[in-house]
Amino acid sequence: MNFSSSSQYVVSQELATAVNAAVTLEKPLLLKGEPGTGKTRLAEELASALETDLLQWSIKSTTKAQQGLYEYDAVSRLRDSQLGSEKVHDISNYIRPGKLWQAFTAKKRPVLLIDEIDKADVEFPNDLLHELDQMAFHVYETGEQITAQQRPIVLITSNNEKALPDAFLRRCFFHYIQFPDSDTLKAIVDVHFPDLHSDLLDTALAMFFELREVPGLKKKPSTSELLDWLRLLLVEDINADELRKSREQGGVLPLTGALLKHEQDVERLAEHARIQRR
């Protein structure tokens, strides 16, 4: 197994090492990093590289660990019993497998993405310890033991909203996706916009990195914002000269809305530009 950059996705050497190690040693891989650095995209790309299924479990603040295993639909059963349905005698008709169950019983070793695990309650990761470790769980209603045919490739993403418990971390491999340097970023842009003029790209990247250096931004623009911005520049047909001009004037960038998502950040940038000009 050797995961590397594809025609749609650029992987750094560190990330490739991380993914390969996690796949080989069958350990969950925990990914952190600024929002928009491609954590979720990685899972999609990995699944397509391995030609297998991607099971995506998006975590919300109300998600319970049990929902990933299975849910027992008592209400349907109660209703069926009223209607005198035959189904009602077999409890397994009312057990709904969750994402983990699906991953354990898949024919081909799937990629299981547990997306934004930090959204859930603080105890959520602890509740999954045993299941991720042993790759097995017990269904109380039917007395069945679900064991993984083959250990799925588990990717977990976190945006650092909540700290994760130590016991959970010990069982995972951890990789922090760093913001790409300008060479990597160029490679990423090349993959998305193959026919972008190189001088426009150079100017745009320079401005983008300057923008990231502006102190005190609430949310620094990330890769996905850069791609949106470039798309807009292309649509609006802004050329490198115009871009350079506004940069020299130290003014606000054209189409800032794609890059900055907070009102205060736009103000902050204008203020910063004023100070620079002085």
Using CB under 8 A as the criterion, which residues of the chain lie in contact with other proteins when the complex forms?
13-14, 17-18, 20-22, 24-25, 27, 30, 32, 62, 74-75, 78-79, 81-82, 122, 161-166, 169-176, 178
Q: How far is the CB of 37 from other proteins (least distance, A)?
A: 12
Give the count of beta carbons closer than 10 Å to the beta carbon of residue 123: 11
Q: Which is nearer to other proteins, 77 or 146 (CB)?
A: 77
Give the count of beta carbons closer than 10 Å to the beta carbon of residue 243: 20
Q: How far is the CB of 139 from other proteins (least distance, A)?
A: 20
Phi, psi of 55 (to 5 degrees): -105, 115
Name the burial class of residue 164, with classes exposed (0-12), middle (13-18) and buried (19+) by CB atoms within 10 angstroms of its CB: buried
Q: Which is nearer to other proteins, 21 or 270 (CB)?
A: 21
Q: How far is the CB of 169 from other proteins (least distance, A)?
A: 4
Q: How far is the CB of 96 from other proteins (least distance, A)?
A: 15
Q: Which is nearer to other proteins, 165 or 254 (CB)?
A: 165
Q: Which is nearer to other proteins, 174 or 193 (CB)?
A: 174
Q: How far apart are CA 273 and CA 252, in angstroms?
A: 7
Q: How far is the CB of 163 from other proteins (least distance, A)?
A: 4
Residue whose C-alpha is closest to residue 211's, from 166, 154, 165, 265: 265
Q: How far apart are CA 192 and CA 189, in angstroms?
A: 5
Q: Which is nearer to other proteins, 35 or 251 (CB)?
A: 35
Give the count of beta carbons closer than 10 Å to the beta carbon of residue 145: 9
